[in-house]
Chains A and B, each alone.
Chain A
Amino acid sequence: MPADFNWAIGGEAGDGIDSTGKIFAQALSRAGRHVFTSKDFASRIRGGYTAYKVRTAIDPVQSVVDRLDVLIALTPRTIEENLDELHDGSVIIYDGDRSTMADVEIPEGMVGLDVPLKALAEEAGGAIMRNVVALGAACAVTDFPIENLDSALKKRFGGKGEAIVENNKEAARAGLEYVHEEFDHEFDYDLDTTDNDYVLLNGDQAIGMGAIAAGCRFYAGYPITPATNVMEYLTGRIERYGGHVVQAEDELAAINLALGAARAGARSMTATSGPGIDLMTETFGLVATSETPLVIVDVMRSGPSTGMPTKQEQGDLNMMLYGGHGEVPRFVVAPTSIDECFWKTVEAFNFAEKYQVPVYVAADLAMAVTEQTFPPEAFDMDEVEIDRGKVVDDDSIDEWLDDKGRFQPHAITDDGVSPRAFPGTDQGAHMSTGLEHDELGRRTEDTEMRVEQVDKRDRKVETAKNDEDLSPREFGNPDSDKLVISWGSNEGAMVEAIEFLEEDGVDVRFLSVPYIFPRPDLSDDIEAADEVIVVECNATGQFANVIEHDTLTRVKRINKYNGVRYKADELAERIKTTLESEEEVSA
Chain B
Amino acid sequence: MSSDVRFTDFKSDKQPTWCPGCGDFGTMNGIMKALANSGNDPDNTFVVAGIGCSGKIGTYMHSYAIHGVHGRSLPVAAGVKLANPNLTVVAAGGDGDGYSIGAGHFIHAVRRNVDMAYTVMDNRIYGLTKGQASPTSREDFETSTTPEGPQQPPVNPLALALAAGGTFIAQSFATDHKRHAEIVQQAIEHDGFGFVNVFSPCVTFNDVDTYDYFRDNLVDLADTDHDPTDYDAATDKILDSSKEYEGVIYKDESSVSYEEKFGVTENMSDIPSGAPDDAMDLVREFY
Is A379's beta carbon under 8 Å from chain B? yes
Check if A424 sits within 8 Å of B86, measured CB to CB.
yes
When distances are taken between beta carbons in the complex, the residues of chain A under 8 Å from B282 are 209, 212-213, 237, 381
Which residues of chain A are near B221, meaning CB under 8 Å? none
A266 contacts B by Cβ under 8 Å: yes
A378 to chain B: closest residue by CB: B283
Smallest Cβ-Cβ distance to A212: which chain B residue: B282
- Answer whether residue A268 sits at the interface, using C-beta atoms and an 8 A cutoff: yes
Residues 424-444 (chain A) with a chain B CB within 8 angstroms: 424-435, 442-443
Contact with B along A204-231 (1 / 0, CB 8 A): 0100010011110110100000000000
Say which residue of B67, B76, B83, B273 sits within 8 Å of A256 (CB atoms). B76
Partner of A266, one of B58, B107, B268: B268
Q: How far, in angstroms, from A29 to B286 measured CA to CA in the complex?
A: 10
Q: Is the CB of A433 within 8 A of B79?
A: no
A404: B residues at CB distance < 8 A: 13
Residues of A within 8 A of B62 (CB): 429
Stretch with Cβ within 8 A of A (4 or more), from B22-30, B38-46, B186-194 = B38-46
CB proximity of A410 to chain B, nearest CB, Å:
13
**Please, how many residues of chain A have a CB less than 8 angstroms from a CB on the other chain?**
70
CB atoms of A379 and B69 under 8 A apart: no
CB-CB under 8 A from B286, the residues of chain A are 199-201, 205
A258 to B68, CA, bound (A): 13
List of A residues within 8 angstroms of B107 by Cβ: 249
Contact partner, A261, options B42, B268, B279, Cβ 8 Å: B268
A252 contacts the other chain (Cβ, under 8 Å)? yes
Q: Given the known A-B contacts A215-B272, A256-B76, A259-B76, are A381 and B65 also in contact in the complex, defined by CB atoms under 8 Å?
A: no
Q: Would B271 and A434 count as touching, CB distance under 8 A?
A: no
Tell me, yes or no, whether B48 is within 8 Å of chain A by CB: yes
Tell me the residues in window 243-287 of chain B with beta carbons closer than 8 Å to chain A beta carbons: 262-264, 266-269, 271-276, 279-280, 282-284, 286-287
Q: A290-B66, A381-B283, A443-B59 are in contact. Are A249 and B104 (CB under 8 A)?
A: yes
Which residues 376-405 of A have a CB within 8 angstroms of B? 376, 379, 381-382, 384-386, 404
The 0/1 profile, CB within 8 Å of A marked 1, for residues 79-111 of chain B is 111111011000000000000000011011000
Interface size, B (range): 35 or more
Minimum CB–CB distance from B35 to chain A (whole Å) comes to 12
A residues 221-271 near B (Cβ < 8 Å) are: 237, 239, 241-244, 246, 248-250, 252-254, 256-268
Q: How far is the CB of A378 from chain B (nearest CB, A)?
A: 8
Interface residues of A, dominant DSSP: mixed
Bitwise interface map of B from 46 to 78 toward A, beta carbon under 8 Å scored 1, else 0: 101000000000110011111111001011111
**Can you give 18 contacting A-B residue pairs, CB < 8 Å?**
A29-B287, A197-B287, A199-B286, A243-B268, A246-B82, A252-B105, A257-B78, A259-B79, A260-B80, A264-B83, A283-B68, A381-B280, A384-B275, A423-B84, A424-B43, A424-B86, A424-B267, A430-B65
* Chain B residues engaging chain A, CB cutoff 8 angstroms: 12-14, 42-46, 48, 58-59, 62-69, 72, 74-84, 86-87, 104-105, 107-108, 262-264, 266-269, 271-276, 279-280, 282-284, 286-287
